[in-house]
Chain A
Amino acid sequence: MTKTFLKLTAASVALCAGLSAANAETLRWARAGDSLTLDPHAQNEGPTHTLAHQMYEPLLQRDMEAQIIPALATSWEPTEDPTVWEFKLREGVKFHGGEDFTADDVVFSFKRAMMPTSAMKELLNSIKDVRKVDDYTVHFETDGPNPLLPNNMTNLFIMDSGWATDNGCEAPQDIANGGDNPCVRAVNGTGAFVLESRKQDSETILKQNPNYWGKGEFPLEVTEIIYTPIQEGATRVSALLSGEVDLIQDVPVQDLPIVERTDGLKLNTAAQNRTIFFGMNQGADDLASDTVDGKNPLADNRVREAMNIALNRDAIKKIVMRDQSAPTGVIMPPFVNGWTEALDGYPEYDVAKAKALMEEAGYGDGFGLTLNCPNDRYVNDEGICQAAVGMLGQIGVKVNLDAKPKAQHFPLIQNKETDFYMLGWGVPTFDSEYIFNFLTHTTTDKLGSWNATGYSNPDLDAKIKSLASETDQEVRNATIAEIWDTVKSENLYLPIHNQVLNWGMADKINFAVQPEDQPHFKFLTFN
């Protein structure tokens, strides 16, 4: 009797094991860079957030089309007092360790992310206080009304307060002071996948969370994720071609045709949330690197206009980018609030017209200056700069190209030590205000930190400031349109193009490219 029972049990266990093995789908995923840390508030960086999203969850997140959808919050809206937002939390959610998810965890996580050692604090600096109302209701009080509060929360992950406290990571790790904590190596989130093992720069294995609240809401067809960073483009593509991985991000532009041609593979493409452009130091009285004495040619809008006309964006797209870019006339991608087709339009390439403008501005003989360009940050960044050097040369602007790794390039912009530079900008909040705050506002302690153009317009600054607390969407959007009109007519920046994202994958995978380059694997399905 017992023996038969044992045999039966063994048989059914074997059967179950067989069945689940048949249903189990492992996804082998590779991209260029690894996540920097598992501590969800210690770094504010794309690949780090992407990995965290599989295991931790924010209150609300962006889906594969970059639309905001509920995650750990089910609803959110301002209360009668416009400076207080009420978030209703999802009930019955458990952390990977089995702990219940409640308002305490939300309060804890936000307070943690606002601490001095957190890299996320700047996104939350409008928040004055986070309060628990009851177990599933939280109030956020802001400094003045903040219509964009939810947009800043899509990468703000919720940890379990008890677990974090027990493990001694109440605060994000303090790298500067040799601080170390277990949350850098371990994860306890509410997300669809549980951390199985991790080797930095080598291999991270995640398993599907059997208690995930979203079962039935999301496809959840991936049962295991094996994530391997492969930083050399050629090797990454080879791994896809040889079938060692199923999905790669960051396909090098020159390898796109190979991936497309190969049987059993496909290439998915989408516009990325990143615009590439040139900035010009138009605020200085004299430039350090130019050949004109005592004057700043870039201060003359006719010169900037001429340079804008002289850039042959279609040629850059075709030759340098191999068609993998969307030329633009404004420094924001189409899905950002404030974008219009008119703004997106760019002037026709016309050397004669540009030369005439140069002549009119008194620079008929041209001038020389230095262009600072990164060579390891954006898609074909140095190639774009080289092309621009040739194009500007045709109207007499003799550009001396200085291409450097990003670690040396970005400090030039931050310290305002450049006259002419390339920069790329993504808009995580999907709203123009973010761009204005960093790139258009006069440089102050808090705003304009990436504006190395020296441009300062008090009228524009006032308008930008007003956006932060304007709750009437129509008024706000009208102001945004006004600001863009000024930015465009003054040729504050020379927009080049919006980058295009390419993900190469096996045929069996159905997965659209996410504009933030963040795959959320709970949405992935197989054929």
Chain B
Amino acid sequence: MLAFIIRRLGQALLVLMAVGFVSFAMFKFMGDPVESMLGQEATAADRAELEERLGLNDPIIVQYVRYFQRAMSGDFGVSYRVGLPVGEVILERLPATLELAFLSGVIAISLGFMLGVYTAIRRDGYVANFIMTASLIGVSLPTFLIGVFLIWLFAVNLGWLPSFGRGDTRSLFGVDLAILTVDGLKSMILPAITLGLYQMTLIMRLVRSEMLEVLRTDYIRFARARGLSQKTVNFGHAMKNTMVPVITVTGLQFGSIVAFAIITESVFQWPGVGLLFINAVNFVDIPVMSAYLLLVAVIFVTINLIVDLLYFTIDPRLSVGNN
């Protein structure tokens, strides 16, 4: 187990370095940060001077090594756009994204699981068919449209929920969280649904097909034949075995919820790292973009590790094989 974790951590470092380098190489095509940083009155001499000071004239590999060395010691530079240390800015925004991702993950997993099990057990029922059809909308509509539609319905027409921002926050161990206040929770509902809808339908469809698969297997038939109640068969035996693939996908999906909250956050002006990133792209704020991409890589690597460890606990066959 320990050797496994150490091996994975070594791989993780390689992944981070690769992500860092690829993103750094990409920035050459992002445009010119100097252009956004200087006013329109700047002269050619000013531009040349700033480029030199930012080190943009060095070869990419030199810039990258310099950046990675500093990043390893926790120094991600200063944002070109807001002029604050990148580490500070990201740490300030990260709780907003994490709590939004957490809530939308909870919604997606619980609803997705319940609906998936339901549609599998009642596979020919009207309600189940309706849910299956409706879920197609969740998969096929772009996030932006869903968000704007929810705003139009719940904020503009019904006036129930706020259309933007994070609402009141309360500090917990020095971290500002919106999830702790009523106003904050109200602000979270629409973005959390928008962000979680795709994941929910995905989980639901996955749970349904896995469950159907399991329900067809021999041991379920024998269980039924032994006269176990329908409930015990469905929830005690069948459901447990649908878990493994579902956990993998759910874990990875949580990663993408965090990483790709960009659209939802910009539609709802949710002040998280996604919004920070999209603004950084518009401004060619290279320090923020680099740090964000590294952060996303860290999140994915961590989640993968957790998912692998969960396998061991859920599926005993794996740990037997490992020993």
Contacts and interface: CB of A to CB of B under 8 A. Distances in A.
Interface string A281-297: 00000000000000000
Contact of B268 (A180, A203, A235): A235
B232 interface: no
B40 A202 contact: no
A38 B268 CA distance: 24
Interface in A435-473: 438, 443, 445-446, 449-450
Contacts of A239: 155, 163-164
Interface in A123-165: 123
Contact of B84 (A184, A229, A236, A443): A184
B276 A244 contact: no
A88 B81 CA distance: 36
Interface centre among A37, A201, A376 (most CB of B within 10 A): A201
A176 B41 contact: no
Contact of B269 (A229, A242, A376): A229
B159 A242 contact: yes
B126 to A, nearest CB: 35
Nearest to A414: B35
A235 B148 contact: yes
Given A37-B83, A184-B84, A122 B39 contact: yes
A75 interface: no
Given A199-B271, A200-B89, A201-B271, A241 B156 contact: yes
B156 A405 contact: no
Nearest to A177: B53
Contact of A176 (B54, B165, B283): B54
Contacts of A185: 84
A308 interface: no
Contacts of A122: 39, 41-43, 46
A299 to B, nearest CB: 24
A232 B35 contact: no
A264 to B, nearest CB: 13
B260 to A, nearest CB: 16
Given A176-B50, A235-B164, A235-B269, A407 B84 contact: no
Interface string B20-55: 000000000111110111111111111101100110
Interface in B129-173: 148, 151-152, 155-156, 159, 162-166
Contacts of B148: 234-235, 238
Given A201-B276, A235-B269, A242 B78 contact: no
Interface in A164-213: 173, 175-180, 184-185, 199-203
A235 B267 contact: yes
Contacts, number: 147
A400 interface: no
B199 to A, nearest CB: 22
A242 to B, nearest CB: 5
B82 A407 contact: no
B152 A37 contact: no
Nearest to A173: B83
A42 interface: yes
B80 interface: yes
A200 B269 CA distance: 12
A228 B31 contact: no
A510 interface: no
B284 interface: yes
Contact of B152 (A177, A232, A238): A238
B181 interface: no
A449 B44 contact: yes
A36 interface: yes
A517 to B, nearest CB: 15
B85 interface: yes
A83 interface: no
Given A176-B53, A244-B155, A202 B271 contact: yes
B266 A231 contact: yes
B39 A449 contact: no
Given A180-B78, A234-B151, A410 B159 contact: no
A244 B282 contact: no
Interface in A404-427: 405-408, 410-411, 414
Interface string A211-243: 000000000000000001111101110110111
Interface in A15-51: 36-37, 39, 42-45
Interface string A67-107: 00000000000000000000000000000000000000000
A440 to B, nearest CB: 15
A434 to B, nearest CB: 9
Nearest to B159: A242
Nearest to B49: A116
Contacts of B77: 178
A409 to B, nearest CB: 8
A243 B155 CA distance: 9
Contacts of A410: 31-32, 35
B248 interface: no
Interface in A234-282: 234-236, 238-239, 241-244
B151 A408 contact: no
A348 B78 CA distance: 52
Interface centre among B32, B54, B85, B283 (most CB of A within 10 A): B32
13 contacts: A43-B83, A45-B39, A119-B37, A119-B39, A122-B43, A184-B83, A199-B271, A234-B151, A242-B159, A244-B163, A407-B30, A407-B282, A446-B45
Which 8 pairs, one residue from A and one from B, show the smallest C-beta to C-beta distance? A44-B39, A407-B31, A202-B271, A122-B41, A176-B53, A408-B31, A411-B32, A238-B163
Given A37-B82, A184-B82, A414-B35, 12 more contacts: A37-B83, A43-B83, A175-B78, A175-B79, A176-B54, A238-B156, A244-B163, A376-B282, A407-B32, A407-B33, A407-B281, A410-B31
Interface of A: 36-37, 39, 42-45, 116, 119-120, 122-123, 173, 175-180, 184-185, 199-203, 228-232, 234-236, 238-239, 241-244, 376, 405-408, 410-411, 414, 438, 443, 445-446, 449-450
